[in-house]
Chain A
Amino acid sequence: MEVVRDLVSAATLASVVGSAAPLIYAAIGETIAEKAGVINLSLEGSLRLSAMVAFVIGFWTGNAVLGFLVAMAVAALIAALIAFASIELKLNQIAVGFVLALLAVDLASFLGDSFVGERGASVPPLAIPVLSDIPYIGQVLFDQNLSVYGSYVLIFASWFFIYRTRHGLILQGIGERPEGAYARGVRVNRLRYLYTILGGALAGIAGAAYSLDVKLGWRETLTLNLGWIALAIVIFGGWHPFRVALGCYLFGGLQVLAFQLQDVLPGLSQVLPIAPFPLMILALVIVYRDWFRRVGDRFPALRGVLASEPPAAIGTVFEPD
Chain B
Amino acid sequence: MKPRDRRALLWGLIVIAGASVALRGVPAAVRGVRALRERTTEQVETLARVEDVVMRGPLVRDSMALTFQAIVALAPDLVDGEGSADAQASLSGLVSLAANRSALKVVRVDPLPDSAAGPFHRVTLHAELEGDMSGIASLLGTLETHAPLLTISAVSWETPDPVPHPRMSEVLHVAMDVSGYYLPRSK
Q: A and B: real partners?
A: no
* Chain B residues at the A interface, C-beta cutoff of 8 Å: none
